[in-house]
C-alpha cells in the first residue's frame, strides 16, 4: 500500500453537530481534539509506505487510533469497530459520519511498519509537541525516572519444554519450507515426540528418566542440525530464523562428550544476557531485581513533575531484562535531549546514579542528577570503625594521598573496577604501614606484608560523589527527594490501565512500540484530566492498615 495524504484536517460540520448533541459534556477523544487539534499528520509517516501501490488508510489517523486503543484498553477488533460506530472517535479523527473505517488487520500492519523503523517515538513526540504548543509541557524543570519489569508474551518454559519446543519449532518451519527434504531426513520417532506441543506431552517424573529425555532431545536436534548444515542440504535452509535459534540453543545447552550428546552443566552455560529462554521470543532474557525474577524486558519511564502542569511522560526506554539501571542514565539524557525535554533536575532511585553519570549529566547536559548514591563500601566503612577514604587527604596534582598517620602513598596507577569502570589504585608502603600505631584502625587484615590501598574515582567523579553523599545527609535534600515517589503512581497507572506488566507482542522492537504507545496514552489521559480539572488520586491505604497505631508508624519510619 502507498501513503497518500487525505483531507484538510477539518471536522465535517455534521460530525460536529451530532457529536455535540450526543456528548454535551464531551468525552476524552472530543476534549483532546478540541484542546490539541490534529495530533499527527500523514506526512510524518511517509517513509513507512512505498510511493506506489494501493492507497492506505490515513497513517496519522491510525497513529491516533493506536493511542486511543491503549487509552481504553481495546483490542484491534474493538478499536476498528469504534472508528466505524463511535461518534467521538469520528470527531477526533475528523471523519464523516458515513466513513466505513478500516479492517482491524490494518492496525497490526501499521504496528509492524512502526516497529520495523523504530518509529514508535514519533507517536509519543507528536503528543509532546502539541502539549508544548499549548503550554502544557514545561522544559528545564523537574523530571523523575523509574523502571519496572515487563513479562514476555511467551510463557515461561521449563528446560525440557524449552529444548523440545525449540526443536519442534524448527521442524515446523522446515516442514513448511522444504517438506520433501524433511521427509527424507526425519526419523519415525520424531513424529511421536514432536508432532504436538511440549506442554501436551507427559515428561517423566523421575530425575534419571528426565535426564534421559533431555539427552534424547539433544541427540535429535543435533541430528537435524547435521542434516541442515550438510553439503547435500539446500543452503537457504540455514538462513531460516527458527533453524538459527535451534543452533544457538543447542550450542548453549548441549555439547559432545566422547562422541555422545550431553547437557551442559550450569557453570558451562552462557550468562543470562546471552541465554535464550524460549524459541517464541528470542529477545527475552531473565532479569533479577531484588526479590523479583522474571523472563522478559524492562521499561524506563521519565515524566515531568511540576505542581501547576500535568505530569507528562517525556521519554520511554525499553531494554532486555538484564540491562542494569545504572547504565541507562546517559541513554535517557541523550533521548531527552533529542526531543528538547531535558530537565534542570532529574530525580531517580538508587539504581541510576553512578559517579560517571553524575559528571556526565552535569557537564554534557546541564542536569543535576539526584538519587541515593552508593556509599563508600570499604571494609572500614562497613565495620563502622577505622579510617575510611574520607580520612585520607588526596593531592590530585601531585598524585599522592596522605594517611591519618601523616605518611604519603608510594604508588598511584589506573585500574578497572569489577564493573569495568576506570578507577585509581593508590598504595602505601609496607615499611610505613607495618610499624604504624594506627594500623589496626586502618587495615582490616592481620597480614603485616599488606599495606593500605585506596580505590578512587577520577578527580571529577570523586568530587561529585563526595558532594552528593554530603548533600544527601541533609534534611532539605531528603524533603526534596520525596518528589520522586510520585513516579510509582505512573507505573501503577500504566499497569492497570494499559496492561504494561506483560508484553502484548513478541520481540524487543514490538515491545518497545507497545511502551511508546503506553506513554502516549497516559499523556492523553492526563491532559484530559487537566482539562476537566480532575484531582490527582491519593495514595490508597487499606482499611486495616489505616488503623495502625501511631507508634508503629514512627518505628517503621525509623
pLDDT digits (tens, 9 = 90+) for 500-530: 999 999 999 999 999 999 999 999 999 999 9
Q: How far apart are CA 184 and CA 180, in angstroms?
A: 7
- CA-wise closest residue to 222 among 250, 182, 199, 259: 250
DSSP class of residue 2 equals B
Between 556 and 459, whose confidence is greater?
A: 459
Q: Each residue of 203-233: pLDDT tens digit?
A: 888 899 999 999 999 999 999 999 999 999 9
Q: Each residue of 49-60: pLDDT tens digit?
A: 876 656 678 999
323-337 average pLDDT score: 95
Between 556 and 418, whose confidence is greater?
A: 418
pTM: 0.89
Residue 123 makes CB contacts below 8 A (sequence gap 6+) with 40, 63, 66, 67, 114, 516, 517, 520
Residue 332 has pLDDT above 90, yes or no: yes
Please give the mean pLDDT across all residues of the chain: 90
Q: How far apart are CA 263 and CA 253, in angstroms?
A: 6
Q: How confident is the model at residue 129 (pLDDT cuts 50, 70, 90)?
A: very high
CB 83 within 8 A of CB 90: yes
Confidence at residue 70, expressed as pLDDT on a 0 to 100 scale: 97
Q: Each residue of 432-481: pLDDT tens digit?
A: 888 898 888 888 777 778 889 888 888 999 999 999 999 999 999 999 99
Residue 388 has pLDDT above 80, yes or no: yes
Confidence at residue 360, expressed as pLDDT on a 0 to 100 scale: 95
Confidence at residue 52, expressed as pLDDT on a 0 to 100 scale: 63
Residue 242 makes CB contacts below 8 A (sequence gap 6+) with 169, 170, 172, 173, 174, 279
Q: How confident is the model at residue 558 (pLDDT cuts 50, 70, 90)?
A: very low
75-92 average pLDDT score: 96
Q: How confident is the model at residue 422 (pLDDT cuts 50, 70, 90)?
A: confident
Beta strand extents in 122-169 (DSSP E only) = 142-151
Confidence at residue 3, expressed as pLDDT on a 0 to 100 scale: 53
Residue with cell 492523553: 524
Residue 460 parent element (H or E)? helix 459-471
Q: How confident is the model at residue 2 (pLDDT cuts 50, 70, 90)?
A: very low
Q: How confident is the model at residue 281 (pLDDT cuts 50, 70, 90)?
A: very high
Residue 557 parent element (H or E)? helix 550-557
167-195 average pLDDT score: 94
Per mean pLDDT, which range of 235-239, 254-258, 464-468, 536-540 is the poorest?
Answer: 536-540
Residue 376 has pLDDT above 80, yes or no: no
Confidence at residue 69, expressed as pLDDT on a 0 to 100 scale: 97
Residue 343 has pLDDT above 90, yes or no: yes
Q: How confident is the model at residue 384 (pLDDT cuts 50, 70, 90)?
A: low
Residue 30 parent element (H or E)? helix 28-36
Q: How confident is the model at residue 11 (pLDDT cuts 50, 70, 90)?
A: very high
Confidence at residue 555, expressed as pLDDT on a 0 to 100 scale: 55
CA 117 to chain centroid: 18
Q: How confident is the model at residue 557 (pLDDT cuts 50, 70, 90)?
A: very low
Confidence at residue 534, expressed as pLDDT on a 0 to 100 scale: 85
Residue 337 parent element (H or E)? helix 329-338
Confidence at residue 528, expressed as pLDDT on a 0 to 100 scale: 95
Amino acid at each position: 500500500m502507498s501513503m497518500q495524504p487525505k483531507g484538510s484536517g477539518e471536522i465535517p460540520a455534521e460530525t460536529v453537530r451530532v457529536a455535540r448533541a450526543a456528548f454535551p459534556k464531551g468525552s476524552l477523544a472530543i476534549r483532546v481534539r478540541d484542546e490539541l487539534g490534529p495530533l499527527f499528520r500523514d506526512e510524518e509517516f511517509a517513509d513507512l509506505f512505498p510511493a506506489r501501490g494501493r492507497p492506505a488508510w490515513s497513517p496519522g489517523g491510525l497513529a491516533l487510533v493506536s493511542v486511543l486503543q491503549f487509552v481504553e484498553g481495546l483490542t484491534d477488533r474493538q478499536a476498528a469497530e469504534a472508528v466505524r460506530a463511535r461518534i467521538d472517535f469520528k470527531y477526533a479523527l475528523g471523519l464523516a459520519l458515513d466513513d466505513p473505517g478500516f479492517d482491524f488487520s490494518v492496525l497490526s500492519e501499521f504496528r509492524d511498519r512502526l516497529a520495523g523503523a523504530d518509529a514508535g517515538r514519533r507517536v509519543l513526540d507528536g503528543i509532546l509537541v502539541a502539549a508544548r504548543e499549548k503550554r502544557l509541557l514545561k522544559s528545564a524543570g523537574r523530571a523523575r525516572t523509574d523502571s519496572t519489569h515487563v513479562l514476555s508474551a511467551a510463557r515461561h518454559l521449563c528446560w525440557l519444554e524449552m529444548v523440545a519446543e525449540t526443536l519442534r519449532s524448527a521442524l515446523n518451519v522446515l516442514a513448511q519450507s522444504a517438506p520433501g527434504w524433511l521427509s527424507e531426513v526425519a526419523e519415525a520417532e520424531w513424529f511421536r515426540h514432536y508432532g504436538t506441543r511440549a506442554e501436551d506431552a507427559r515428561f517423566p517424573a523421575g530425575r534419571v528418566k528426565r535426564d534421559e529425555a533431555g539427552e534424547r532431545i539433544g541427540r535429535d536436534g543435533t541430528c537435524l542440525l547435521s542434516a541442515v548444515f550438510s553439503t547435500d542440504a539446500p543452503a537457504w535452509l540455514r538462513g531460516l530464523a527458527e533453524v538459527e535459534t535451534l543452533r544457538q540453543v543447542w550450542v548453549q545447552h548441549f555439547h559432545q562428550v566422547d562422541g555422545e550428546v550431553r547437557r551442559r552443566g550450569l557453570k558451562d552455560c552462557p550468562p543470562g544476557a546471552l541465554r535464550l529462554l524460549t524459541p517464541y521470543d528470542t529477545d527475552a532474557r531473565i532479569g533479577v531485581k531484588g526479590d523479583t525474577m522474571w523472563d522478559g524486558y524492562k521499561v524506563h519511564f521519565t515524566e515531568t513533575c511540576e505542581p501547576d502542569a500535568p505530569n507528562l511522560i517525556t521519554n520511554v526506554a525499553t531494554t532486555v531484562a538484564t540491562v542494569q539501571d545504572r547504565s541507562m542514565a546517559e541513554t535517557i539524557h541523550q533521548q531527552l535531549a533529542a526531543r528538547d525535554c531535558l530537565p534542570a533536575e532529574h530525580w531517580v532511585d538508587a539504581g541510576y546514579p553512578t559517579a560517571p553519570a553524575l559528571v556526565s549529566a552535569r557537564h554534557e547536559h546541564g542536569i543535576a542528577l539526584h538519587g541515593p548514591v552508593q556509599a563508600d563500601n570499604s571494609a572500614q566503612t562497613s565495620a563502622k570503625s577505622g579510617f575510611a577514604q574520607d580520612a585520607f587527604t588526596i593531592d590530585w596534582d601531585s598524585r599522592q594521598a596522605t594517611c591519618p598517620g601523616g605518611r604519603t602513598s608510594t604508588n598511584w596507577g589506573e585500574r578497572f573496577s569489577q564493573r569495568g569502570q576506570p578507577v585509581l589504585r593508590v598504595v602505601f608502603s609496607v615499611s610505613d604501614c607495618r610499624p604504624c600505631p594506627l594500623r589496626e584502625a586502618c587495615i582490616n587484615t592481620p597480614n603485616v606484608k599488606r599495606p593500605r590501598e585506596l580505590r578512587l574515582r577520577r578527580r571529577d567523579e570523586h568530587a561529585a560523589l563526595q558532594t552528593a553523599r554530603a548533600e544527601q545527609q541533609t534534611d532539605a535534600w531528603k524533603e526534596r527527594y520525596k518528589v520522586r515517589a510520585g513516579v510509582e503512581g505512573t507505573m501503577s497507572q500504566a499497569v492497570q490501565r494499559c496492561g504494561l506488566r506483560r508484553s502484548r507482542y513478541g520481540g524487543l522492537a514490538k515491545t518497545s512500540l507497545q511502551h511508546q504507545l503506553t506513554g502516549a496514552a497516559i499523556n492523553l489521559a492526563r491532559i484530559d484530566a487537566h482539562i476537566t480539572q480532575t484531582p490527582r488520586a491519593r495514595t490508597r491505604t487499606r482499611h486495616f492498615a489505616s488503623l495502625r497505631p501511631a507508634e508503629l508508624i514512627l518505628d517503621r519510619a525509623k
